[in-house]
Amino acid sequence: MYGRQTGVRELTFAVGPGEVFGFLGPNGAGKTTTIRLMLDLIRPTSGRLEIFGLDARTESVEIRQRTGYVPGDLRLYDRLTGRELLEFLAHLRGVRHLRYAEELAERLGLGLDRPIHALSKGNRQKVGLVQAFMHRPELLVLDEPTAGLDPLVQQVFYDLVGEAAAEGRTVFLSSHVLSEVQHIAGRVAVVREGLLVLVDEIESLRERAATRVEATFEEAPPPGAFADVAGVTEVERRGPTVVYSLRGPADPLVKALARYRVLGLDSHEADLEDVFVGLYRGEDAA
């Protein structure tokens, strides 16, 4: 609770070892609040949260030792160089050398010897990623981790996440970039106004979502021409181009389209963004 405001409520889910778990929701949905609860940065009004089988409140020190964290509002010691910051964090974590941190920095294209205050937003974000991964934690908690990164560096980040999961480490990824989550996560949770809307496999969600089919006709059929075709709903009309939502096999729609002269046909397979938008428009049920 924040005074009379509720942060999150009735939020129940579990994440397993070696899993990349996406945590989605718009601004104000409760994503960052959940992460802060996980790391004992704020305390819950009620309920229980366990990480590694440990109580997130009473055993938070051990949990943090085994966790790497990139906050959404990343703050760093501006007067230090990247190397000095990593040496400081390595000392706190009992890491004896920076060999792996230097390897990570090289892969991300990050120079470690400039003062942090002189770094661009993207390079600051790289420092944040290196410090989170450098001690090979069992759990990575990443809040908007690719903010400010260019596409090539984002691909390196995806590789790092995949390597961590392959080693049996767990990645908890909160992001607004739905394509990013779809690319690397196996399961996702969606929160809305502090409530859990769903938890499901990425592929299962895609199967539930409608395919978008865009047909351009020589002469557009009248509205409702395909109303009797199973699984098909007309959603948009732009002159001779009509957009349909398709749930189920495409064969009935293809046969119905054959009654007209079709000049162009394009289909867009459902992705996580389609599912997400559908949920927030009330087109799907939790």
Tell me whether strands 211-217 and 241-246 are parallel, antiparallel or unpaired.
antiparallel
- Can you tell me the mean pLDDT for 266-282? 71
Domains in the chain, ordered, with CATH? 20-205 (3.40.50.300), 210-269 (3.30.70)
- Can you tell me the mean pLDDT for 8-30? 88
Please tell me whether the overall predicted TM-score, pTM, comes out greater than 0.85 for this model. Answer: no
- pLDDT of 281 reads 63
Q: Lowest-pLDDT range, 56-60, 85-89, 148-152, 245-249?
A: 245-249
- pLDDT of 285 reads 45
* Model confidence pLDDT, tens digit, residues 165-196: 999 999 999 987 778 888 899 999 988 888 88
- Return the beta strands (E) in 25-155 as ranges: 50-51, 54-55, 67-70, 139-143
- Return the beta strands (E) in 43-181 as ranges: 50-51, 54-55, 67-70, 139-143, 170-174
Tell me whether strands 20-24 and 187-192 are parallel, antiparallel or unpaired.
parallel
Q: 165 and 18 in contact (C-beta within 8 Å)?
A: yes
